[in-house]
Every structure is written in C-alpha cells, then in structure tokens.
Amino acid sequence: MGERAKQTFESYIKTRKLFIMLLTSYHNHSDYSDGKASVQQMYMAAKQSGLHEFGLSDHWIKPDDPDCAFRSWGMSWSRLDEYVEECLKWKKELDDENFTIRLGLEVDHFSANWEENIKQLQNYPFDYIIAAVHFVGSFPIDHRAADWEGMNQHEVDTMWRRYFAKVRDIAATRVYDFLAHLDLPKKFNFHHSAALTDDIEETLQALSQNDLPIELNTAGWDKDCRSPYPDLPLLKRCCELKIPLLINADAHHPAHVQNHFAEARALAKEAGYTQLCRFEKRRRIMQPLL
C-alpha cells in the first residue's frame, strides 16, 4: 500500500473506531476463589458468548489479621502465581482479533495494610485491579441475610455509614482501577434511611474528585434486592459527577457471563452515560456506549 493510501486507511479505521463498542466484562470469578467453574470454562464461555474482552478477578482478601475468618471465600494466598500463570496461559491460547483476555483481581481494601497489599500486586502484569468492600470491621456485608436480621434502622444506617467511609478511603488511595458494587449493602434489602443522603453525596464526590470509575454490576438483579449495583438514582448522580463506568456481570458461573447486559446498557443510557471505559495494562481507555 502506498503511503497516502495507508494514511487514508488509518484515518478510516480511526473514524470507524469511534462507532465501535467493545463488549467487555472484567469482574468475574473462577474456582480460584468462590466461582463455580475453572478458569478455562469461564474463558471459553465468555468467548462463545461474543464478549470482546473478558477478565477474571478472583477475590484477594488479605486482612492485617491473618487468623481472621475473612479468607474463606478468597483465593489461597499461596496460589497467586499459579492464578496469574494459568490466566496468561489461556490468554495465549484464546486471544484472537475478536477476543482478548484481561488479567484482573478483586481486592478487599483494608485500611491497616492496603499499601503492603498493593505493593505485592505490583509485581504482576494486571490489566486492572478492582477495589471492593465486603467487610466493615469484621462484619461481612454480603455473606448472609441472617447477619443483618435483628438490627434496628439506626444500626443498619451505621453499617452503611461505615461502608461508605471505607469507599471514600479507597478513592483517596488512588491506587485502584475501579470500584466494585457501589451499593452492595442493599443486597438483602436492608436499606439505609434518608439520614444517609449527605454521606452518599460525600462518597460520590470523593469518587469524582479522585477519578475512580465504578461498575454497573448486573449481579444485583438476581439477588434479594432485585436491583443492579448501583441503582438508577445513584447511577444518575455518578453520571452528573462524570464518574467513569464499566458494565460487569460478576459471574460465578459460565452461564452468567453476559447476564442482564442489554438491560444494563439501557440503564446506563437512561442515567445519561454516553461512554464506558475499559483497561489495558492498568491504562484506562474510553469508548462509546452504543
């Protein structure tokens, strides 16, 4: 191809790219943590479903107290090398012009030792690191409804308040690529009262000011709350504050890799979003939401 033709072709591709959306899902689990299928089974299902980019993000739970019970559904600490090697092995095998495997991890944030945890993870070629809050102190937010039952509204609000304070801590660190399931404590329908309005606004401002993207996590639609994380009012406010967004299935099973994705895209548009983001080697790339 002559130089001029090449330039024309490249600019054509550039223009075309403005009108192409890559279907991505980055928050998913294998049996390295609490997923129900192997790495290979999850990748094969993602590829067959037509996703363009797919990543596993198994749970990395490393609290400062090594004896605490938090670890039960996280990846064994000694298996991180094996996890990364296995993901990269399948990446080599399955990546092609229509499908790319991304390497990720869902990391529980602990205020006492997050720096140490992140330092360890910097030795690996992750495309993205997700920050999550599944624990407030030693309280497991999304484990069982029974943990919430018996609380009065004041106690429920206090749990939400502490949860959002941890989310603000996450935003302030500026070391994560996006935040998981923004309003997770609603999972079992223990909703906060109107007293939380200011805490929520402060939290969304912190995400915005620290430029930390959120996800529209579709798994909530199939939980007791029957609503994605976050719900529409929160999502609208996030959009107003220009907090970048991804859509993820949080699949723990091969059959769920694109659960509720059409609904999620419609909801994101309804909230006002016109773009989504994706990641490559911890670099954020914006793309149109179509």
39-47, 96-104, 242-250, 270-278 -> range binding Zn ion (CB under 5 A): 242-250
3-state secondary structure the chain: CCHHHHHHHHHHHHHHHCCCCCCEECCECCCCCCCCCCHHHHHHHHHHHCCCEEEECCEECCCCCCCCHHHHHCCCHHHHHHHHHHHHHHHHHHCECCEEEEEEEEEECCCCCHHHHHHHHCCCCCCEEEEECCEECCEECCCCHHHCCCCCHHHHHHHHHHHHHHHHHHHHHCCCCEECCCCHHHCCCCCCCHHHHHHHHHHHHHHHHCCCCEEEEHHHHHCCCCCCECCHHHHHHHHHCCCCEEEECCECCHHHCCCCHHHHHHHHHHHCCCEEEEEECCEEEEEECC
Closest separation in Å from C-beta 34 to Zn ion: 8
Per CB under 5 A, the segment of 41-49, 169-177, 248-256, 258-266 that binds Zn ion is 248-256
What residues numbered 170-199 form the site for Zn ion, per CB under 5 A?
180
User: Closer CB to Zn ion, residue 180 or residue 257?
Assistant: 180
Residues in binding contact with Zn ion, number by CB under 5 A: 4
Question: By CB under 5 A, which span of 86-94, 119-127, 236-244, 247-255 interacts with Zn ion?
Answer: 247-255
For the chain, the maximum distance between any two Cα atoms, rounded to a whole number of angstroms, is 74
Least separation in angstroms between residue 119's CB and Zn ion is 22
Closest separation in Å from C-beta 27 to Zn ion? 6
- Which residue's CB comes closest to Zn ion? 132
Binding region for Zn ion (CB under 5 A) out of 60-68, 127-135, 155-163, 228-236: 127-135
Smallest distance from Zn ion to CB 277, Å: 18
Which of positions 68-107 make contact with Zn ion (CB under 5 A)? 106
Residue 132 touching Zn ion (CB under 5 A)? yes
Task: Work out how close the CB of 270 gets to Zn ion at its nearest, in angstroms, rounded to a whole number.
Answer: 24
* Tokens matching residue 202: 């402060």
From 227, 277, 289, select the one nearest 26 (Cα to Cα).
277
Give the range of 30-38, 75-83, 131-139, 185-193 binding Zn ion by CB under 5 A.
Answer: 131-139
For Zn ion, the closer of residues 175 and 179 by Cβ is 179
Contact characters 197-236, Zn ion, x per CB under 5 A:
----------------------------------------
Strand partners, 60: 107
CB of 124 to Zn ion, least distance (A): 18
Residues in contact with Zn ion by CB under 5 A are 106, 132, 180, 250
